[in-house]
Structure 1
Amino acid sequence: MDFLAKQLVCGAYQLQPLSAGGLLSNPMKELAKTMLVEALEGKKKGQSPADLVIVIDDVELENLGRENVIAEHFQAAVNNAIQLKAKGISAEESRIRSVIRDKCSFHLLKPMVEAYLFGDTVALGLAGVPTEVIPKLVHQSDVEKFETNDPKWLPTCRIENTKKANDNKLWWLHERHPKAYLDYLLPKEYSETTHGLQALIKLNWPQVPKCQHDIPIFGSLFQDVADWFNIANPITGATHPDFYPTKTSNRANLLLRNM
């Protein structure tokens, strides 16, 4: 089973909020195209197609509260990729749609993967946060609502917010940037490939949601994977209607496994 995970970050969103009905970015189109290749042909020539393809992206600060718009853009990019792949042959388009509906999903991390580390003190320690340091968060339960009210760090946040506002990025809220706050808490500069990797590998996911309404964005991914393996969802988090179908949804009408 192959998991396709690609960070679009600046390439797809260009550090500006996505607009409903807006033009698709080339990176978003490429991501959809890559997903189809993985599902239909395989990553390399001679390889078998992936059994399950899960595309994962960060929401980032510029699209907080616009998760539905991200979903809309990716769905449009997938439809565009299907049409290009099918070359106007209706039977081929139907075949492609059937395949990706069975094996492809698109999920998000809100606002980015580092937020989830704050749900597990052991993971934070593996990321390099000293044991005596206690992060100060506005929302102690749902890390997808990440925001710090750390009085020692808020002055830095105000400076960064002003800088971004001067660059016409009025949506920037530095206090909602988990990677930046994590970097502040560490004695050394934060590294995704060292600190982040070890913490993520050992992250105790069932501990991250503190109640059943927490982490609906990532909860949708867990439920999607649990469905694939036909097992119980190991976490108690909720699901999000834009990233996991309701029980009354006709799955035959879905574009992907989860939307």
Structure 2
Amino acid sequence: MTVRVQLIVTGELERLGLHLSLRKLFASTGADVEFLVPQKTQDFTSNRVGTLLPPELAARSLAAKLAGALVLAVYPGRGSTMQADHVIAVDDLELANADQPGHVLEYFRHAVKAYVDSTFSSATTRDRVYQALAERGSFHLLAPMVESYFFGEAAALQRATAHQAPNRFDTARDLEDFEVDDAAYLAATVPGKYEPRHRHPKNYVRYLCDPTGQRRAYRETHEGLDALRVLDWTSVLRQEAHAAFARALIDDVADALNVPSPCPGVCSTLTVRKGDGLLRNI
């Protein structure tokens, strides 16, 4: 029986390409899976995530937009047809929140609860929604953003049309703790306000694609898509102790499909499947 997996994402690159890269990865497992075209909604991590809001405000927050999309996909309600067997919401952690992933997850849990409690008046219905979320809903982070993982596969940067290889990038460093020591890049005039630039994967990809900054050489929906849709996750995750957030996502999908993870190793303790949380993994 085909297992249908629905991703809910917050970026256009992920909407176009993340399901394709996961489809390619899991094709090697023989799993009978259909990755549906991702839904896209508002992110809540572009700026620093603040303190928990009162429930009435949390139900209307940016996080509640993503939470609401997840809830409605898992529990579409009476008269609606359920499209997916498993629903996974994905957002970038972003540099603004790199030091507080645990708080980001708690903020999202709080938004999910606030959305459910404000949307469904019946306690019986709320119980059904919470059960569905615990069984079929997940939330994962890409850290600090999806371009981080391009640096785990040299061909991905080539597909993104990088004109030069990363200069003095420490390949022993965890991709999710991204940092580059490239004097030319750090001294260059790079369009946009992407600081701190030595920690910003997307900005460094832009620089590698056009060191002069004279043309729009990297676009997420073109060059970024070429890099992501056939990304070799087994290469990206070859170091079993690294990229624990991405590995937790892949492990979660593998569990939903009842197959061994194609990328075994250390998963983030924050987002690994738990079995006793609000969602499958948090």
TM-score normalised by length of structure 1: 0.83
2:130 aligned with 1:97:
yes
SS in 1 for 2:183: coil
> Per the alignment, do residues 155 and 10 of structure 1 end up closer, same or farther by CA in structure 2, a change over 3 Å counting?
farther
Deviations 1:108-161, CA, capped at 9 Å, x for gaps: 11110001000001111111113x52443235342111111011111248x999
Deviations 1:32-90, CA, capped at 9 Å, x for gaps: 11111111118xx8543421111100111100121111101100001111112321x22
> How far apart in 1 are the matches of 2:191 and 2:166?
23
C-alpha displacement of 1:10: 8.8
> How far apart in 2 are the matches of 1:178 and 1:9?
22
> How far apart in 1 are the matches of 2:70 and 2:114?
12
SS in 2 for 1:21: coil
1:33 aligns with one of 61, 65, 68: 68
Partners of 1:126 and 1:199 within 8 A in 2: yes
2:262 aligned with 1:258:
no
Partners of 2:42 and 2:62 within 8 A in 1: no
Q: How does 1:55-70 map to 2 (within 5 A)?
A: 55-70=89-104
Partners of 2:87 and 2:137 within 8 A in 1: yes
1:71 aligns with one of 102, 105, 112: 105
- Count of aligned pairs between the two proteins: 240
> Per the alignment, do residues 210 and 142 of structure 1 end up closer, same or farther by CA in structure 2, a change over 3 Å counting?
farther
The percentage of aligned residue pairs carrying the same residue is 28
> How far apart in 2 are the matches of 1:62 and 1:22?
19
| Superposed CA RMSD | 2.6
C-alpha displacement of 1:241: 1.3
Stretches of structure 1 lacking an aligned partner (at least 5 in a row)? 165-171
Partners of 2:254 and 2:260 within 8 A in 1: yes
1:149 aligns with one of 181, 185, 188: 181
1:189 aligns with one of 206, 213, 217: 217
> How far apart in 2 are the matches of 1:9 and 1:155?
36
2:147 aligns with one of 114, 129, 139: 114
Q: How does 1:112-191 map to 2 (within 5 A)?
A: 112-130=145-163, 133-156=165-188, 172-187=195-210, 188-191=216-219
SS in 2 for 1:153: helix
2:256 aligned with 1:228:
yes
C-alpha displacement of 1:175: 0.8
TM-score normalised by length of structure 2: 0.77
Which letter maps to 2:258?
A: N
More strand by share: 2
